[in-house]
């Protein structure tokens, strides 16, 4: 590991440390560092965190996915509709993941078969998935039927008081942690993961080395879609409603988390665990701002500043090297 | 006539603990071509960056035209009249020739209130003047992306003239030019020299230096180790200064081998026709044979290799790989690799290597599956294999976990070739395998190619450097306008003949006669 990549890995940690210190010292943010608050923040990280797992693969491969927010909304609607048809929570989750995965697959096909730039292809999907969500929901929120909300049902996935209690975090948080660990290992150590990095680092070299670029890219965007689909399920679990207008602009939070986490939008660099820390940092920032009663615009300006500072530190570091 | 002088004394430049320059003396006068020589890593690029205002020297002083010269940024240098033309030309490909020539100092419309607009008539005038001055027949309205490397270079020189250049610095100007284009460039340089401008000429091709330069300075390990007049100097002596080794040691001793008989053919190209290039090519490669392919830039040599490996779509492609069975290839690089055909790109930075990946990753990228169990890579296996291949090509490194981009050009090229070794390729298709690398690395690569060929690997080497082809190949064929002619034993060619055939093509009847002789 070179000194540059260590610094890259430290970037989200430093950001997180600063955010934690600032609010811990803030007189109005009482209980910011409490266990209780940490549970809440962890829970609030789940949706961006899950989507950021997939987005890390996309960004490391040199691509971008703007359709995340719309896919989350579509999946949350699909989830609620499946529950309303009384098919049970498990099938609802599977359906949400499949819905997301299909959107991602279409993204991948547009990018590889039609050779549309990822920015444009996923911009298209941003509109299509959002529209589809409104269409199948009849442009209304889809309430989850009470039967599905009974104990051990949908809500349990995102509950701050998990059952059994020794779980400490909600199952949604544990799912995110587990998936993140698996994804981190896959990205670093699997043939697929290294091919993803190689494509992002230099696609021409990857082609010359006989890597199946089209197939790999389709897989990447499908995974990203599936992750967003799971995030949609978690959103439905938290809100107990499938909302076609939810998660507007969420894709930008997801991209921000990945970039703060050390990824380069030029591709070839980035890691899943960094993205998770980036997502956690943004959730802590939101929580701190809420506690101190700061207006949302303060939070927005802060997140914007952190992105710019995080990336410019990296650029300066590279220039000196 | 006033003669300008650029004089650098005792220049040092340290990056942390690395002493890129450590005592360089260099001077160039108006009306001369001064060659700056040295192997890669000798400090030429750093010296050029100091002159161009990219880096400030740690110590030493530069005097230009009688005054201290300390540019704070590249624009300062250009304003002073010192213009550098880089090896990788940095014009804007989407703009037109004339837009490129005036880029950064576009003449404005003089009328009041319209000064934000570009005076297009004046742009045309300036561009035409500059192009005419160097005798370049390039249309001012052509898009630079549509030009070849030689024309792009002329555009860069025209641009320097439009900036009223006083010291023109050329970094490896001929590395992607053909012999004819080199001659044209030299004519331009001679007219600039006659004009009283100073030219700093950096090149690996000593034969060219002997032709064009008046004086030379040799750098080694960041220091000036010698300088003098070119007239009366000998190439051998200069090479010794550069590398501390003799010229006849650059090429390995000739290999003793007979023309392979039909039974040992390992790679039989019966037909390749690309989308536009190549138009016609058929050849066969015996086990352990090294075939050189020479031709002008644009003759279709690179396209030939790319079509063979399946990187570019081919209209017709009939290749049989007959190590033990007959296989016709039709697919992409993956299929070619699976049949032991490896390819090294001429453009190692843009295509050949992923510069921010590690040495180990670059070497094993095309065969990662071999080190994987259930889709996950065993790092010990990757490390071991990459160490072995890097050692075989003597890649100088701190570890195989180093990013390839941090290595010198010669070592990068060795990594690109080490990948083919890892692929266990039987047929190596090498496109300009020693472009822009130092003499010592070249020599090591030649020796490695020979030892691999002695072990049974076969090679197709595309090169624009005739001495290299004559030095290492068993047979050489010339490509002309997309047609690959019959090959001949390397000892039957002379340098002059190769260049002539490349420029004019072969008389087809003569080729057929020769082919029938071989058949009998």
A97 is in which domain, residue-wise? Answer: 3-25+33-320
Dump pLDDT digits (tens) for A5-57. Answer: 666 677 788 888 888 998 888 888 888 889 889 999 999 999 999 999 999 99
Q: Which residue of A has its CA nearest to B348?
A: A205
Q: Cα angle vertex B361, ends B357, B366, to 5°?
A: 120
Across the interface, do B351 and A191 touch by the CB < 8 Å criterion? no
Q: Is residue B255 part of a domain?
A: no
Q: Is residue B112 part of a domain?
A: yes
pLDDT at B90: 65
pLDDT at A5: 61
CA separation for the pair B50, B496 (Å, rounded): 39
Burial A151-183 (b: 16+ CB within 10 A, else e): eebbbbbbbeebeeeeeebbbbbbbbeebbeeb
pLDDT at B323: 58
Give the residue with greater pLDDT, B520 vs A184: A184
Q: Are residues B435 and B508 in the same domain?
A: yes
B433 in Cβ contact with B413 (< 8 Å): yes
Q: At A190, which CATH number?
A: 1.10.3470
Structural domain total, chain B: 3
A195 Cβ under 8 Å from any chain B Cβ: yes
B54 Cβ under 8 Å from any chain A Cβ: no
A33 Cβ under 8 Å from any chain B Cβ: no
Q: Are residues B47 and B139 in the same domain?
A: no
pLDDT at A221: 98
Distance from CA of A34 to the nearest CA of B (A): 39
Structural domain total, chain A: 1
- Given B228, B249, B270, which residue is the final one in a domain? B249
Interface test with A, best of B305, B356, B374, B402 (most A CBs within 10 A): B356
Q: Are residues B104 and B178 in the same domain?
A: no
Q: Are residues B384 and B489 in the same domain?
A: yes
Residue B322 has pLDDT above 80, yes or no: no
CA separation for the pair B356, B441 (Å, rounded): 22
Percent of chain B at pLDDT exceeding 70: 91
B225 is in which domain, residue-wise? Answer: 1-81+165-249
B142 Cβ under 8 Å from any chain A Cβ: no
Q: Are residues B59 and B128 in the same domain?
A: no
Distance from CA of B312 to the nearest CA of A (A): 10
Interface test with B, best of A210, A219, A321 (most B CBs within 10 A): A210
Dump pLDDT digits (tens) for B230-252. Answer: 998 888 888 788 876 555 677 88
B60 Cβ under 8 Å from any chain A Cβ: no
A212 Cβ under 8 Å from any chain B Cβ: yes
Strands of B18-29's sheet in order across: B18-29, B5-15, B59-64, B67-68
Q: Is residue B256 part of a domain?
A: no
Q: Are residues B479 and B498 in the same domain?
A: yes
CA separation for the pair B320, A117 (Å, rounded): 37
Dihedral sign, CA of A111, A116, A122, A125? negative
Q: Are residues B282 and B415 in the same domain?
A: yes
Residue B263 has pLDDT above 80, yes or no: no
Q: Are residues B179 and B139 in the same domain?
A: no
Interface test with B, best of A60, A209, A266, A319 (most B CBs within 10 A): A209
Q: Is residue B313 part of a domain?
A: yes
Contacts of A205 in chain B (CB under 8 A): 351-354, 362, 365
Q: Which of A192, A209, A269 sits opposite B365 (nearest CB)?
A: A209
pLDDT at B178: 76
- The number of helices, as runs of H, and strands, as runs of E, in chain B is 17, 23
Q: Are residues B173 and B159 in the same domain?
A: no
Q: Which of A190, A202, A204 sits opposite B375 (nearest CB)?
A: A190
Residue B519 has pLDDT above 70, yes or no: no
Tell me the mean pLDDT in the region A49-71.
97
pLDDT at A1: 43
Q: Are residues B305 and B386 in the same domain?
A: yes
Q: Are residues B27 and B95 in the same domain?
A: no
Q: Is residue B254 part of a domain?
A: no
Q: Which DSSP state fits B142?
A: S
Q: Which residue of A has its CA nearest to B404?
A: A201
Mean per-residue pLDDT over chain A, rounded: 91
Strands (E), B275-325: 283-286, 290-295, 314-321
For the ranges A13-17, B414-418, B461-465, the one whose mean pLDDT is highest: B414-418
- Given B227, B249, B271, which residue is the final one in a domain? B249
Give the residue with greater pLDDT, B81 vs B15: B81
Mean per-residue pLDDT over chain B, rounded: 87
How many angstroms separate the Cα of A149 from the Cα of each of A78, A160, A237?
A: 16, 15, 9
Across the interface, do B376 and A191 touch by the CB < 8 Å criterion? yes
- Closest among A166, A176, A202 to A275, alpha carbons compared: A176
Dump pLDDT digits (tens) for A232-278. Answer: 999 999 999 999 999 999 999 999 999 999 898 889 989 999 999 99
Q: At B513, which CATH number?
A: 3.40.50.300
pLDDT at B507: 59
Residue B18 has pLDDT above 80, yes or no: no
Q: Is residue B257 part of a domain?
A: no
Q: Is residue B382 part of a domain?
A: yes
What is the complex's ipTM, to 2 decimals?
0.87
Q: Is residue B65 part of a domain?
A: yes
3-state secondary structure (DSSP) of residue B458: strand
pLDDT at B501: 87
Considering only A6-20, A279-293, B111-125, B318-332, which range has the smallest mean pLDDT? B318-332
Considering only A143-147, B12-16, B151-155, B350-354, which range has the smallest mean pLDDT? B12-16
pLDDT at B427: 95
Contacts of A198 in chain B (CB under 8 A): 354, 357, 361, 365
């Amino acid at each position: 590991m070179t000194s540059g990549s260590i610094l890259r890995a430290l970037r989200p940690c430093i950001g997180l440390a600063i955010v934690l210190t600032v609010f811990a010292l803030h007189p109005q943010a009482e209980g910011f560092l409490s266990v209780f608050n940490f549970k809440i923040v962890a829970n609030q990280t789940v949706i961006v965190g899950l989507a950021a797992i997939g987005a890390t693969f996309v960004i490391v491969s040199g691509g971008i996915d703007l359709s995340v927010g719309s896919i989350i909304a579509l999946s949350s609607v699909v989830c609620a509709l499946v529950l309303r048809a009384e098919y049970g929570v498990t099938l609802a989750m599977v359906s949400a993941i499949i819905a997301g995965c299909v959107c991602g697959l279409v993204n991948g096909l547009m990018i590889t078969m039609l050779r549309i730039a990822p920015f444009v292809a996923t911009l298209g999907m941003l509109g299509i998935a959002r529209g589809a969500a409104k269409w199948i929901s009849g442009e209304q929120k889809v309430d989850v039927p009470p039967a599905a909300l009974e104990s051990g049902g949908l809500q349990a996935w995102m509950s701050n008081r998990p059952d059994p209690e020794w779980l400490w975090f909600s199952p949604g948080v544990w799912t995110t942690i587990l998936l993140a660990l698996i994804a981190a290992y896959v990205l670093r150590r699997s043939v697929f993961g290294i091919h993803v990095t190689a494509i992002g680092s230099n696609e021409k070299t990857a082609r010359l080395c006989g890597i199946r670029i089209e197939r790999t890219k389709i897989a990447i965007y499908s995974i990203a879609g599936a992750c967003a689909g799971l995030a949609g399920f978690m959103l439905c679990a938290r809100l107990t409603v499938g909302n076609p207008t939810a998660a507007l602009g969420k894709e930008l939070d997801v991209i921000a988390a990945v970039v703060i986490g050390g990824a380069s939008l030029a591709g070839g660099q980035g890691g899943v665990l960094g993205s998770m820390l980036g997502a956690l940092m943004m959730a802590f920032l939101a929580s701190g701002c809420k506690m101190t009663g700061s207006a949302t615009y303060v939070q927005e300006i802060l997140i914007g500043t952190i992105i710019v500072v995080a990336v410019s530190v990296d650029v300066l570091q590279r220039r000196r090297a | 006539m006033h003669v300008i002088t650029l004089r650098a004394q005792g220049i040092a430049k340290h990056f942390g603990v690395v002493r890129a320059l450590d005592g360089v003396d260099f001077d160039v006068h108006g009306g001369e071509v001064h060659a700056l020589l040295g192997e890669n890593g000798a400090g030429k690029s750093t010296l050029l960056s100091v002159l161009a205002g990219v880096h400030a020297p740690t110590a030493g002083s530069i005097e230009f035209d009688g005054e201290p010269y300390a540019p704070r940024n590249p624009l300062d240098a250009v304003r002073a009249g010192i213009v550098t033309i880089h090896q990788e030309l940095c014009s804007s490909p989407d703009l037109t020739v004339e837009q490129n020539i005036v880029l950064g100092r576009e003449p404005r419309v003089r009328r009041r209130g319209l000064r934000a607009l570009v005076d297009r008539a004046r742009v045309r005038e300036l561009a035409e003047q500059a192009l005419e001055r160097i005798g370049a027949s390039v249309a001012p309205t052509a898009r630079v992306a549509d030009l070849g490397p030689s024309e792009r270079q002329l555009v860069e020189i025209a641009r320097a003239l439009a900036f009223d250049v006083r010291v023109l610095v050329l970094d490896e100007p001929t590395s992607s030019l053909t012999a004819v284009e080199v001659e044209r460039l030299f004519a331009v340089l001679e007219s600039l020299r006659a004009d009283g401008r100073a030219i700093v000429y950096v090149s690996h091709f000593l034969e060219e230096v002997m032709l064009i330069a008046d004086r030379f300075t040799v750098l080694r390990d960041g220091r000036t180790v010698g300088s003098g007049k070119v007239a009366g100097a000998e190439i051998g002596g200069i090479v010794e200064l550069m590398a501390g080794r003799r010229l006849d040691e650059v090429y390995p001793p000739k290999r003793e081998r007979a023309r392979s008989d039909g039974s040992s053919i390992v790679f039989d190209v019966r037909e390749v026709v690309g989308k536009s290039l190549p138009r016609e090519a058929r050849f066969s490669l015996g086990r352990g044979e090294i075939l050189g392919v020479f031709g002008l830039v644009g003759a279709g040599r690179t396209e030939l290799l790319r079509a063979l490996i399946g990187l570019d779509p081919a209209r017709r492609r009939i290749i049989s790989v007959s190590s033990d069975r007959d296989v016709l290839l039709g697919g992409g690089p993956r299929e070619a690799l699976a049949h032991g055909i490896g390819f090294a790109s001429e453009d190692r930075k843009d295509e050949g290597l992923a510069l921010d990946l590690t040495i180990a990753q670059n070497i094993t990228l095309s065969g990662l599956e071999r080190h994987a169990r259930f889709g996950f890579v065993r790092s010990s296996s990757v490390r071991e294999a990459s160490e072995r291949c890097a050692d075989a090509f003597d890649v100088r490194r701190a570890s195989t976990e180093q990013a390839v981009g941090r290595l010198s050009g010669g070592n990068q090229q060795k990594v690109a070739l080490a990948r083919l070794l890892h692929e266990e390729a039987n047929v190596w298709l090498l496109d300009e395998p020693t472009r822009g690398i130092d003499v010592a690395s070249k020599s090591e690569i030649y020796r490695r190619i020979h030892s691999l060929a002695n072990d049974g690997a076969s090679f197709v080497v595309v090169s624009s450097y005739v001495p290299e082809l004559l030095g290492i190949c068993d047979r050489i064929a010339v490509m002309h306008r997309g047609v690959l002619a019959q090959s001949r034993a390397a000892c039957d060619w002379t340098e002059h003949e190769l260049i002539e055939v490349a420029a004019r093509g072969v008389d087809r009847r003569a080729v057929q006669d020769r082919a029938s002789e071989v058949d009998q």
